[in-house]
A and B are shown apart, each in its own frame.
Chain A
Amino acid sequence: MKKSIDLINERVRDGNARVVTADAMPGIVAELGEEEALREVDVVTTGTFGAMCSSGAFFNFGHAEPPIRMERIWLNDVEAYGGLAAVDTYIGATQQSTTREDQYGGAHVIEDFIAGKSVELRAMSRGTDCYPRRTITTDLLLEHLNQAIMCNPRNAYQRYNAAINTTDRMLHTYMGMLLPNSGNITFSGAGGLNPISNDPKLHMIGNGVPIFLGGAQGMVIGEGTQSSPAGGFGTLMVSGNMKEMSQDYVRAATMQGYGVTLYLGVGIPIPVVDLDVVRSTAVRDEDITVDLLDYGVPSRSRPVVRKVNYAQLRSGLVEVNGEEVRTSSLSSYRKAKEVAETLKVWVEQGKVNLVLPTRPISPETRVMPMHESVHGPRVLDIMDKRVISVGETEEIRAAAQKLLKGETNHLPVINNSGLLVGIVTTYDISKAVANPGKATLVRDIMKKKVVTTTPDEPVDIAVQKLERHNISAMPVVDREMHVVAMLTAINLGKLIGGRWLK
């Protein structure tokens, strides 16, 4: 059996349609069976409410007298794009204020407009024959704009990998605050309520489909940026009229140490036209699995600590290496349900005309990493291969002499097998000489916890290590812990004026 979209719209018009939220669907299918569920249910509404960084809005301000062709534009000191000619602009949610840093950004401008607050526009131009004006400053309300169209390149992630931190340092990430030593887990997304999770093959979600966006009726423009539905990480590009939105579903936020983002409510009604839709909307939290990634590794490919599903994440505790670790959702499940329920009411009231995609989105797309034609500098490009080291059983005096000769302030300490076991600095030696005590050998005064790097490590990561530990040099080691070179602050100078910064 199949149901046409026309039949579903007809039932909606007649007030006979059965509309349910996605979290109710697994129960209905379990109770009635798939065939009966198809006959019974006409529309499943989905919803999610969470941080959607890749969001923003187009504004048209209307022409001033005399007119200006805005080239640089700020809204409450947040820079907006000035390349759209005359009085159009696009403001991105994560753009930060030039005066208030991460406490205010594009997301706040969007929320303030929707909340009915006044926003200051400042713009500059070089002045042309047709647009003579060079500067403008004016206070604007949303109603003063001709158009305010939210247009988000990448929203409604199908699911998102969870985060943990195995290092001994607190991390501040876009996945929120990650406590040291696997102290907590954070995750995002509404699991079985998530729009694309209810239609992973993108049968019913495609270009032109009506949606709930920030409290307004919006629509799917098409495939979202970075969309990867083939791997289970589809995204959507969506738009909606900001003038119809509500602050209840559009909230600016700051992830401490990461920056500004926008929390947004997105929901999609899925017409139940065939058994495929019945099956895909019967998805449960426990069916949706993600990787738990270690954000302690600052790389594109972070190690997977374990697999975990949304039911486990939402339970509050997840086991990691035999220990129960507490979880935090970054997105709001309550709000996600509210989105799905509001959308349900809209559909029931006949406010939403359901349509099939005017053009399908390919479910085969897979995201590619960046093609880098020039690789960023690595430690081996700038490290100093002349290593002066000292044996752990040598006398402190010997170390002092090496430091004097070697024009270095750091001596890696090696054991009999030539492996790194510690480090001594000029400071350690002076201290030992100034306060002669029992210590006579290098190993008595060396620091045993050595921060190291490897030849392959990107310089940016090595620099982060130096800064974080407040040190000016570290040994470069191979896999076996042989010291192959030193990296010092002086080597970093090679980057400046070198080929990397051209």
Chain B
Amino acid sequence: MKLLVNFSKKAGQKPIIAQVVKDTGVLINVERAIIDSSEGEALIDIPDDTCRIVKEKLADLGATVRVLEHGIILDETECVDCGACVSVCPHEVFYLDEHWVIRLREGRCVLCGRCIDACPHHALYQKDEA
């Protein structure tokens, strides 16, 4: 399951995700992270059954955590099955099936947002934008 973690970075503080891994023993897969000098946002993937403990630990360390239930979402009424999204996605989420219909491997999506810009038909969106 994927969690979107936002945190502020204070001088001298230990890297927050490393701290959680150390304290909980859960293997966290960081799929995407943008961190500058004062704050950071990371998309992490963890085993479903560790969700509660990881969330609590992150909250203790001052981060805000949001559970992402969905990867990118396709609006089928807008989509024309062109395939413009296929080659721009860094995680190969999209493919055209044998009937030339676009298909998603949603689990691979790290919500980088690139395909949203590439779709000429505004057919792709993130859940909270809907």
Is B67 positioned at the interface, with any CB of A under 8 Å from its CB? no
Contacts of B101 in A (CB 8 A): 334
Which residues of A in the span 305-330 have a Cβ within 8 Å of any Cβ on B? 316, 325-330
Is B35 positioned at the interface, with any CB of A under 8 Å from its CB? no
* Number of chain B residues whose Cβ lies closer than 8 Å to a Cβ of chain A: 20
A181 to chain B, nearest CB (A): 13
* Number of chain A residues whose Cβ lies closer than 8 Å to a Cβ of chain B: 31
B102 to chain A, nearest CB (A): 9
Main secondary structure of the interface of A (DSSP, over half): strand
Contacts of A328 in B (CB 8 A): 82-88, 118
The answer to whether A176 touches B118, judged by C-beta atoms less than 8 angstroms apart, is yes
The answer to whether A254 touches B81, judged by C-beta atoms less than 8 angstroms apart, is no
For the A-B complex, the count of residue pairs with Cβ-Cβ distances under 8 Å equals 78
The answer to whether B120 touches A255, judged by C-beta atoms less than 8 angstroms apart, is yes
B17 to chain A, nearest CB (A): 28
The answer to whether A334 touches B120, judged by C-beta atoms less than 8 angstroms apart, is no
Q: Which residue of B lies closest to A254 (CB)?
A: B120
Whole-angstrom CA separation of A134 from B20 in the bound complex:
70
A48 to chain B, nearest CB (A): 12
Partner of B120, one of A261, A325, A327, A333: A261
A111 to chain B, nearest CB (A): 11
B100 to chain A, nearest CB (A): 4
The answer to whether A331 touches B117, judged by C-beta atoms less than 8 angstroms apart, is no
Contacts of B122 in A (CB 8 A): 254
Is A389 positioned at the interface, with any CB of B under 8 Å from its CB? no
The answer to whether A263 touches B80, judged by C-beta atoms less than 8 angstroms apart, is yes
The answer to whether A186 touches B80, judged by C-beta atoms less than 8 angstroms apart, is no
Given the interface pairs A176-B120, A263-B120, the reply to whether A329 lies near B84 with Cβ below 8 Å is: yes
A sample of 29 cross-chain residue pairs with beta-carbon separation below 8 angstroms, ordered by A number, consists of A49-B80, A176-B88, A177-B84, A177-B88, A177-B114, A177-B118, A179-B87, A179-B88, A184-B88, A253-B121, A254-B122, A263-B82, A263-B121, A316-B95, A325-B87, A328-B82, A328-B83, A328-B85, A328-B118, A329-B84, A330-B84, A332-B80, A332-B81, A332-B100, A333-B83, A333-B96, A334-B99, A335-B81, A337-B100
Q: Given A255-B120, A327-B87, A330-B120, 10 other A-B contacts at CB below 8 A?
A: A176-B88, A176-B118, A177-B117, A183-B87, A254-B120, A254-B122, A325-B87, A329-B82, A333-B83, A335-B81
